[in-house]
């Protein structure tokens, strides 16, 4: 009894601490629900401007969409394959040598800290303008994120079968491919397709490498207030996301052997997908090494390597420390709010807990939430709450809902429902059954998803910058625009350290819980 | 005692510099404004100053009234002028070349800042060290007219489509001469910043870049070091086109804001800014925006801009 | 204790992959019986239990509860019925990350109102009772251990304690002693017998331990390949019955025939 | 077949939560023996097997393989040793999303070179053999079924087929017949006995079925509460030995004592 009540106190203490943290960040970022409520009428005025959509504009979108898809497909495939190969070496639950794990994780950490724009710039300075550079940037970016997601999945999956193979003397990699990968394959493929979708949606960087991407078009139409056209672009995006989402669901079900397909059709599907990849890859423009800009690259890296220490250690109002604190607070508040909405949403988003039609409707809703780019959320909320951190929190919350719901749903789809079903069979109401039959299993997974999103939100501080939300994003973008690489280097170093710290803390948290 | 109380005044700045530089620099503005306004009979309790990173964001805030006044660009103002109106136009120091004939700019000297205040600036087409760029430059210096094909063959580094000097005015210039705009160019690449355009120009990835006219004033010293130029900037680059006048940035007020509905308050606020800009302290503050003073603004100053945007949109 | 009369009429079960697990099963059980289902591996025993507790639906036929077809019963009543039934699963179906005690306590959730149930405020009375049950199955010291750290037999006993915590009128026990040593297994069966006799609980068990099944049950149901091939008292079991249940090539384990089997 | 001599010297195992699962265990097994470990639930049998196959490390003591301490063996040799050993796990440890056949085939991975292993190109010979084994354990028709759709006993048989696929010199079988009906169970044990006799495989089994353990083994090791309390031939087993192994209050199942047990 004493131990159980001690545990309960510990849980309560953790919860209170968490709540305090949340309240602090809410106050620090000037979140003001009253203001939000008072000005709520402005929530819809921008959206309503998008109707009726300008259907005549859709043909203009198709070419950029094609380029975007082309680069995204190649980049996502190569990046994911690399991730699939390297992720097991990063997973703590596997017996790969520890030093490899630390080195790889560190590299991935650094790679993920670089805003996609910097990667794209590097790529163009190296390979010249063109789709090749864009693909390269997407590959790196996808690789970093996919590796992280995949090793996280591995750590959550049961290692028993893998261990069984290892004890038979199977070498690590084949044991991983046959003993563990089949269990995480559904979520691996959904993640990869999610990356494809993200790459298509956030393709603005592709414009900067000379490939036009649908992101630039969107930015342009938003800036020119041509909302009917924005609406048309969003519709196309929605359809793209919808297609990819359903493809990924079907694929996951196929892997879980929840539905079957004739061998013939599987071969056909494989052939089609391979053909798509090959076509996308060979139509890429070859790299143009004649015009590499090594000097700029050199400046960039020497800047990163000799960060601006006075800025780094400054404790003034415009010093790194204050900025990072603000970023942390915005990211934390945004992630928590996002999580609060995503957990229930993820339960109604899967056929395992609600009837198919309900799941379908919510699925549409979530796809809609996801297909709206953060810039639009930023603009919507800026009309409500004005520029400032509060807008950042709101925007991040909305962006988080997309990914979090997706990941939570995936975890729900993968989890073993035996215990839950056992409770239902005893006549327990579904909600408490979820609380006691599923949440304990999900807790570690949910916590790691939460921490992951938190870390993404910190890294995507540049996103915050774009919507005018304070934090470290704006100085980062600005120093990048000015080619003040020393300063950018200091900010990136700060981010890397911060994220590393959070990673350490999250490992500790996962240990305790 | 008979001072009118204003609860809060929300000011939004466009990202002329990085937000914390602006925040730090503008910190004293709060008290200066409060004091000056109090003298004019308005007791402002709270001055809320924020920096939006995108111009559009500030425009949106003004249009919805979540900001009362905003420091925005002319192009942006035109987009949102249904919901906001011009209060003041900013003044800047000009540069020593103002001709619209590109040959005059290629006199072998880098443009220099002058002490004259002006309400406008210009945008230029800068040809780079690449073969194509040099060929175009030579043609211009020989007094020959450039053809559309000349320009269309080249690779262009341009800015986002709302940038006045990096897109709109250059596009307008092309339209007036060739009937086609930047979006009709086969090889126009959007850069995330002018510096990226410069790096592309220096490496030969781009043959032409478009930018505000004082770009060489600002970056010539760094040309070799930062951007990888192989010779001095003035030797490697040249101007092949100069656009019309572009009116400076401005302070706009939101028509949807209740605070700003008061004509007298607007008058007082405008006067305050003009006064503050004349003090040493005030000059220091607004120098982060590269502004040196204010003049009462007039909506019609921006008709040129309006025209340009209309042309660009209809051309699509 | 609300008595339950269970009638199974001509039920069929085919899975999505066209495996027919049960074909034309009919029998009925009255309150207070101790019935064992026996049959070879893959005969459909677990599937039968899952149909009975409502985890799966049958493809044809119907299950009557107190003469009402299960699918027609209104939701409230169905919940009521489920509350009076509990299952010991072959694969335990425990929440691996929760402690032994928490797992047992979840059995009391159906009796609690919504919010205490969601928050898991079980109160001392219930906790006491759960602890008692854990002591009875010999797991007192593992009370706070997460289930994933338990041995196979300990997990099984946790599952048993959870099922008993419900105080059901119908207990479905799917291989309740498979992972237990003979002594503990016997103790557990005695415990089941005990509650069956004292409280009149209906026990429907399924075990591969023929001897113990025969010793403890009133009645045996033999299942082979999804069909009932035997239904009678333990006394009626003989070599030929064993052979029909476990297949023709089978060697009767009753006779302890120790010669090697050609496999 | 490479003969393996296994010596266990004074091993201890304590888990992170300070549960001591094994204390001062010593015994040795020579090639070709059929040894059964018996003991009550939670005695530490599974833990012992996991130490032997290297899934867990012991806290004290050492395991000698052909007189070399396990931790000192160089990697290459260790791999070799592992290749010659296979384990049937109590909780199966199968890949649930993969088919029965795929699971069995994974056992041949250690013999394949890297790329074919990664790509899963097993070739027809291996597939043939796996199918044969599946037929022998009676799962021929479930070949393509994902493991998660199998019944308890079917899963167990898949695990057995996988272990046998390796053609090990040492087979660790942790409750290999717990989920099997008496007839199939006996068949499986006969199969194990068969390979032990024909191929000289060492079998270390652990089963709660005392009768079958006694019938099939040369030697029994009794474990209670993490200590060895008995080590001898089946003939030496008697009531008092049973009592030391399964605890004092135990009722000897050898005697088929049918009277109720006070629990
Ligand atoms: N979800 C499922 N999908 C497809 N087939 C299934 C599924 N569950 C069970 N089966 C098949 O139905 C048949 C009966 O399975 P069941 O689990 O009822 O057997 P059982 O009698 O409990 O066997 P055991 O004694 O081995 O536990 C088996 O052939 C099994 O493969
Ligand atoms: N990972 C673990 N962490 C903590 N304690 C453990 C762990 N694994 C096993 N134990 C404990 O060690 C003891 C021995 O467990 P083990 O699994 O070896 O028992 P067993 O003899 O196989 O029992 P059974 O017959 O029930 O399978 C048990 O008390 C168990 O609770
Ligand atoms: Mg079963
Ligand atoms: Mg065990």
- pLDDT, tens digit, 9 for 90 and up, residues A301-327: 888 888 888 878 877 766 788 888 888
DSSP-assigned letters across all residues of B248-274: PPEEEEESS-SGGG-HHHHHHHHHHHH
pLDDT in tens, A462-490: 666 655 566 777 777 778 777 888 888 88
Cα angle: B38, vertex B39, B42; to 5 degrees: 35
* pLDDT tens digits, one per residue of D159-202: 999 999 988 899 999 999 998 988 889 999 999 999 999 988 99
CA of C178 to the centre of ligand 1 (A): 17
pLDDT in tens, C144-171: 888 989 999 999 999 999 999 988 899 9
Which is higher by pLDDT, D207 or D250?
Answer: D207
* Beta strand segments in B128-227, E: 156-158, 188-190, 208-212
pLDDT average, residue stretch A140-160: 88
Residue B54 is predicted with a pLDDT of 73
pLDDT greater than 80 at residue D13: yes
Rounded average pLDDT over A55-66: 84
pLDDT value at residue C192: 92
At B228, the pLDDT band (50, 70, 90 cuts) reads confident
Name chain A contacts of C119, Cβ cutoff 8 Å. Answer: 435
According to the model, what pLDDT value does residue C256 have? Answer: 40
pLDDT at C228 (0 to 100): 93
Distance from CA of D216 to the nearest CA of A (A): 25
Judge whether D207 and D43 are in contact, CB under 8 Å: no
Q: In the structure, what pLDDT confidence band is assigned to residue D253 with cuts at 50, 70 and 90?
A: very low
- What are D85-114's pLDDT values in tens digits? 889 999 898 988 888 999 999 988 888 888
Distance C68 CA to ligand 2 centre (A): 45
Confidence of residue B187 (pLDDT cuts 50, 70, 90): confident
Q: How far, in whole angstroms, is CA A506 from its chain's centroid?
A: 18
**CB contact at 8 A, C15 and C64:** no
> Which of D17, D76, D93 is the best substitution to test chain A (most A C-beta atoms within 10 A)?
D93
**Are C160 and C168 spatial neighbours (Cβ–Cβ below 8 Å)?**
no
Give backbone dihedrals phi and psi of D10, rounded to 5 degrees, phi first. 50, 45
Distance between CA atoms of residues A158 and D93, nearest Å: 9
Task: Give the residue from A342, A339, A335, A453 showing the smallest Cα distance to A392.
Answer: A335
Tens digits of per-residue pLDDT, A273-292? 899 899 888 888 787 777 77
pLDDT score recorded for residue A303: 84
Residue nearest to atom 16 of ligand 2 (CA): D44
The encoded tokens of residue D106 equal 């994974």
Predicted ipTM of the assembly? 0.78
CA of C208 to the centre of ligand 1 (A): 15
Q: Is the CB of D179 under 6 A from ligand 1?
A: yes
Out of C96, C118, C131, closest to residue A431 by CB: C118
pLDDT at A294 exceeding the cut of 80: no
C-alpha D70 – ligand 2 centre gap (Å): 23
**d(C-alpha A117, C-alpha A465), whole Å:** 13
Compute and round to an integer the Cα radius of gyration of chain B.
Answer: 21
Question: What's the 3-state SS for A165-182?
Answer: HHHCCCCHHHHHHHHHHH
Question: What pLDDT, on the 0 to 100 scale, is given for residue C254?
Answer: 42
Indicate whether residue D189 lines ligand 2 (CB < 6 A): no
Q: Does the beta-carbon distance from D263 to C191 stay under 8 Å?
A: yes
More reliable by pLDDT, C121 or A261: C121
Beta bridge partners of residue D38, listed in sequence order: D222
> In the prediction, which pLDDT does D47 show?
93
pLDDT band at B192 (very low <50, low <70, confident <90, very high): confident
D130-145 average pLDDT score: 91
**Contact of A285 with A227, CB cutoff 8 Å:** no
**CB contact (8 A) between residue D110 and residue A161:** no
**pLDDT at position C45:** 93
Residue D19 has pLDDT above 50, yes or no: yes
Residues of chain A with C-beta less than 8 angstroms from the C-beta of D120: 177-178
> Which atom in ligand 1 lies closest to the alpha carbon of residue C226?
14
- Closest C-alpha to B71, from B273, B283, B213: B273
- Taken in order D17, D21, D26, D29, the sign of the CA dihedral is negative
CA of D67 vs chain C CAs: smallest distance (Å): 31
Q: What mean pLDDT do residues C258-262 have? A: 32
What's the pLDDT score for residue D257? 38
Q: What is the DSSP string of C119-155?
A: HT--HHHHHHHHHHHHHHTT-GGGTTSBGGGS-HHHH
Q: How confident is the model at residue A339 (pLDDT cuts 50, 70, 90)?
A: very high
Interface test with D, best of C46, C183, C247, C250 (most D CBs within 10 A): C183
* A54, pLDDT greater than 90: no
Res D227: pLDDT: 92
CB atoms B66 and A479 under 8 Å:
no
Average pLDDT over residues B70-87: 87
Confidence (pLDDT) at A447: 84
D9 φ, ψ (degrees, to nearest 5): -120, 110
Please determine, for residue A65, whether its predicted confidence score (pLDDT) is greater than 80. yes
Per-residue pLDDT at C57 exceeds 90: no
Residues with a beta carbon under 5 angstroms from ion ligand 3: C 46, 90; D 151-152
Question: What pLDDT is stored for residue C258 in this prediction?
Answer: 35
Q: What are the structure tokens assigned to A336, written together?
A: 């928590």
Mean pLDDT in residue range C195-222: 91
Looking from the CA of residue C174, the nearest atom of ligand 1 is 22
The length of chain D, given as a count of residues: 263
DSSP string, B204-223: TS-SEEEEETTHHHHHGGGH
Q: Which ligand is nearest to the CA of C223?
A: 1
Mean pLDDT score of chain A: 83
Could you give the C-alpha distances from A337 to A332, A372, B5, B69, in angstroms and in order? 9, 18, 36, 30
pLDDT of D262 strictly over 70: no
- Place C48 in a pLDDT band, splitting at 50, 70 and 90: very high
Dist. CA C199–CA C167, nearest whole Å: 9
Sort D8 into a burial class: Cβ within 10 Å, 0-12 / 13-18 / 19+. Answer: buried
Q: Are C163 and C171 in contact (CB under 8 A)?
A: yes
For the segment A428-455, the average pLDDT, to the nearest whole number, is: 84
With a 6 Å cutoff on the Cβ, whether C77 touches ligand 2 is: no
Determine the average pLDDT of the residues in A231-255: 86
Q: Does D36 touch chain C (CB under 8 A)?
A: no
Q: Which residues contact D80 (CB under 8 A, 6 or more apart)?
A: A169, D2
C-beta separation of A150 from A84 below 8 A: yes
Atom number, ligand 1, closest to the C-alpha of residue C43: 21
Q: Which residue has the higher pLDDT, C219 or B162?
A: C219
Q: What is the pLDDT of residue B315?
A: 57
Residue B313 makes CB contacts below 8 A (sequence gap 6+) with A224, A226
Mutation pick from D42, D143, D209 vs chain C, by most beta carbons of C within 10 Å, is D42
Q: Render A94-163 in DSSP notation, one character per residue.
A: S-S-HHHHHHHHHHHHHHHHS-HHHHHHHHHHHH-SSHHHHHHHHHHHHHHHHHHHHHHHHHHS--HHHH
Per-residue model confidence (pLDDT) at position D158: 94
How confident is the model at residue A463, as a pLDDT?
61
For chain A, domains (ranges, CATH) are 55-289 (1.10.3720.10), 293-512 (1.10.3720.10)
Do at least 3 CB pairs under 8 Å connect A with C?
yes
User: Residue B48: what are its φ and ψ, rounded to 5°?
Assistant: -105, 110
> C187, exposed or middle or buried, with CB in 10 Å at 0-12, 13-18, 19+?
buried
Facing C95 at nearest CB: one of A424, A427, A440: A440
Mean pLDDT comparison of A404-408, A454-458, A503-507, B304-308, highest-scoring range: A404-408
Distance to chain A for D150, nearest Cα, Å: 13
State pLDDT tens for residues D35-69: 999 999 999 999 999 998 888 888 999 888 888 88
The pLDDT of residue B185 is 86
Instruction: Report the distance separating Cα A179 and Cα A161, nearest Å.
Output: 5
Atom number of ligand 1 nearest to Cα C223: 21
- Distance (Å, rounded) from C-alpha A187 to C-alpha D105? 24
User: Residue A499 — pLDDT band, cuts 50, 70, 90?
Assistant: confident
Of the partner residues A260, A418, A428, the one whose CB lies closest to the CB of residue C91: A418
Task: Give the separation between CA D185 and CA D173, rounded to whole angstroms.
Answer: 13
Instruction: Give percent of chain A with pLDDT exceeding 90.
Output: 11
d(CA D82, CA D70): 11
pLDDT (tens digit per residue) in D197-228: 998 899 999 999 888 999 999 999 999 999 99
Token pair belonging to A273: 């997908």
Residues with CB under 5 A from ligand 4 (ion): C 151-152; D 46, 90
Q: What's the confidence (pLDDT) of residue C250?
A: 46
Q: Tell me whether strands B156-158 and B208-212 are parallel, antiparallel or unpaired.
A: parallel
- What confidence score (pLDDT) does residue C12 get? 93
pLDDT at D259 over 50: no
């Amino acid at each position: 009894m004493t131990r159980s009540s001690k545990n309960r106190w510990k849980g309560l203490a953790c919860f209170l601490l968490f709540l305090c943290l949340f309240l602090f960040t809410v106050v620090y970022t000037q979140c003001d629900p009253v203001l939000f409520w008072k000005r709520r009428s402005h929530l819809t005025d921008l959206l309503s401007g998008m109707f009726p959509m300008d259907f005549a504009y859709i043909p203009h979108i198709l070419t950029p969409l094609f380029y975007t898809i082309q680069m995204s497909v190649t980049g996502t495939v190569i990046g994911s394959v690399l991730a699939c190969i390297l992720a097991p070496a990063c997973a703590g639950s596997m017996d790969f040598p520890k030093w490899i794990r630390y080195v790889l994780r560190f590299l991935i950490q650094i790679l993920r800290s670089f805003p996609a724009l910097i990667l794209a710039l590097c790529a163009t300075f190296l390979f010249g303008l063109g789709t090749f550079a864009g693909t390269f940037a997407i590959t790196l970016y996808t690789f970093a994120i996919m590796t992280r997601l995949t090793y996280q999945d591995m750590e959550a999956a049961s290692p028993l079968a893998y261990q069984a193979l290892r004890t038979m003397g199977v070498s690590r990699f084949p044991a991983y491919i046959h003993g563990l990968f089949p269990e995480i394959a559904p979520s691996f493929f959904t993640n990869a397709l999610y990356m494809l979708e993200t790459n298509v949606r956030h393709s603005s960087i592709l414009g900067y490498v000379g490939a036009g991407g649908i992101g630039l078009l969107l930015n342009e139409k938003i800036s020119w207030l041509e909302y009917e056209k924005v609406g048309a672009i969003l519709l196309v995006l929605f359809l793209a996301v919808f297609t990819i989402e359903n493809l990924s669901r079907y694929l996951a079900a196929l892997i879980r052997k929840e539905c079957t397909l004739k061998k013939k059709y599987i071969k056909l599907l494989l052939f089609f997908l391979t053909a798509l990849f090959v076509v996308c890859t060979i139509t890429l423009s070859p790299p143009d090494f004649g015009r590499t800009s090594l000097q700029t690259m050199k400046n960039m890296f020497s800047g990163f390597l000799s960060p601006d220490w006075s800025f780094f250690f400054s404790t003034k109002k415009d010093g790194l420390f204050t900025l990072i604190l603000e970023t942390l607070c915005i990211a934390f508040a945004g992630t928590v709010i996002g999580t609060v909405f995503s957990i229930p949403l993820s339960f109604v988003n899967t056929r395992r807990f609600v009837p198919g039609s309900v799941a379908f409707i919510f699925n549409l809703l979530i796809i809609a939430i996801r297909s709206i780019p953060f810039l639009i959320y930023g603009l919507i909320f800026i009309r409500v709450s004005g520029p400032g951190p509060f807008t950042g929190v709101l925007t991040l919350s909305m962006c988080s809902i997309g990914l979090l719901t997706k990941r939570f749903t995936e975890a729900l789809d993968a989890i073993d429902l035996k215990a839950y079903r056992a409770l239902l069979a005893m006549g327990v109401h579904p909600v408490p059954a979820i609380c006691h039959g599923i949440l304990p299993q999900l807790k570690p997974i949910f916590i790691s998803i939460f921490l992951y999103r938190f870390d993404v939100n910190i890294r995507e501080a540049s996103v915050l910058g774009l919507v005018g939300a304070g934090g470290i994003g704006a100085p980062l973008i600005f120093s990048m625009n000015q080619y003040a690489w020393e300063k950018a280097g200091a900010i990136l170093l700060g981010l890397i350290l911060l994220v590393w710290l959070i990673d350490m803390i999250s490992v500790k948290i996962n240990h305790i819980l | 005692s008979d001072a009118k109380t204003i609860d809060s005044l929300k000011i939004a700045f466009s990202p002329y510099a990085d937000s914390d530089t602006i925040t730090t620099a503008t910190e004293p503005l709060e008290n200066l404004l409060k004091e000056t306004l109090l003298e004019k009979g308005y007791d402002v309790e709270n001055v809320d100053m924020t920096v939006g990173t995108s111009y559009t964001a500030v425009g949106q805030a003004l249009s919805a009234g979540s900001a009362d006044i905003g420091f925005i660009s002319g192009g942006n103002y035109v987009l949102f002028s249904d919901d906001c109106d011009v209060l003041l136009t900013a003044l800047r120091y000009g540069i020593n070349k103002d001709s619209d004939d590109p040959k005059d700019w290629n006199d072998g000297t880098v443009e220099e800042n002058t002490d004259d205040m002006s309400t406008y600036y210009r945008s230029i087409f800068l040809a780079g060290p690449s073969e194509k760029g040099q060929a175009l430059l030579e043609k211009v210096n020989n007094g020959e007219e450039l053809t559309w094909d000349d320009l269309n063959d080249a690779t262009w580094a341009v800015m986002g489509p709302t940038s006045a000097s990096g897109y709109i005015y250059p596009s307008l210039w092309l339209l007036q001469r060739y009937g086609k705009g930047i979006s009709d160019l086969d090889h126009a690449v959007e850069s995330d910043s002018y510096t990226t355009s410069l790096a592309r120009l220096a490496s030969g990835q781009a043959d032409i870049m478009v930018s505000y006219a004082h770009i060489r004033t600002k970056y010539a010293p760094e040309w070799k070091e930062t951007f990888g130029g192989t010779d001095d900037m003035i030797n490697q680059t040249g101007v092949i086109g100069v656009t019309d006048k572009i009116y400076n940035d401005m302070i706009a007020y939101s028509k949807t804001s209740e605070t700003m509905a008061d004509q007298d308050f607007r008058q007082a606020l405008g006067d305050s800014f003009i006064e503050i800009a004349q003090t040493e302290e005030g000059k220091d503050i607004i120098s982060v925006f590269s502004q040196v003073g204010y003049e009462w603004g007039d909506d019609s100053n921006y008709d040129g801009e309006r025209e340009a945007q209309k042309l660009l949109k209809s051309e699509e | 204790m609300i008595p339950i009369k269970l009638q199974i009429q001509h039920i069929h079960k085919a899975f999505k992959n066209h495996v027919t697990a049960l074909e034309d099963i009919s029998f009925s059980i009255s309150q207070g019986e101790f019935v064992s289902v026996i049959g070879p591996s893959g005969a459909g025993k677990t599937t039968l239990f899952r149909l009975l507790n409502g985890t799966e639906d049958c493809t044809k036929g119907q299950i009557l509860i107190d003469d009402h077809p299960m699918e027609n019963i209104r939701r409230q009543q169905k919940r009521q019925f489920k509350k009076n039934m509990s299952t010991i699963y072959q694969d335990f179906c425990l929440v691996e990350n929760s402690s032994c005690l928490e797992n047992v306590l979840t059995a009391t959730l159906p009796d609690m109102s919504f919010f205490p149930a969601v928050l898991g405020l079980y109160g001392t009375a219930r906790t006491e009772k759960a602890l008692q049950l854990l002591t009875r199955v010999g797991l007192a010291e593992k009370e706070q251990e997460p289930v994933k750290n338990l041995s196979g037999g300990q997990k099984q006993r946790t599952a048993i304690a959870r099922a008993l915590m419900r105080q059901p009128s119908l207990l479905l026990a799917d291989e309740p002693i498979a992972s237990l040593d003979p002594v503990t297994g016997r103790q557990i069966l005695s415990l089941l017998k005990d509650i069956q006799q004292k409280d009149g609980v209906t026990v429907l068990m399924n075990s591969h331990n023929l001897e113990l099944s025969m010793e403890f049950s009133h009645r045996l149901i033999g299942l082979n390949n999804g069909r009932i091939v035997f239904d009678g008292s333990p006394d009626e079991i003989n070599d030929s019955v064993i052979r029909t249940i476990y297949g023709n090539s089978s060697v009767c384990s009753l006779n302890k025939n120790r010669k090697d089997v050609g496999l």
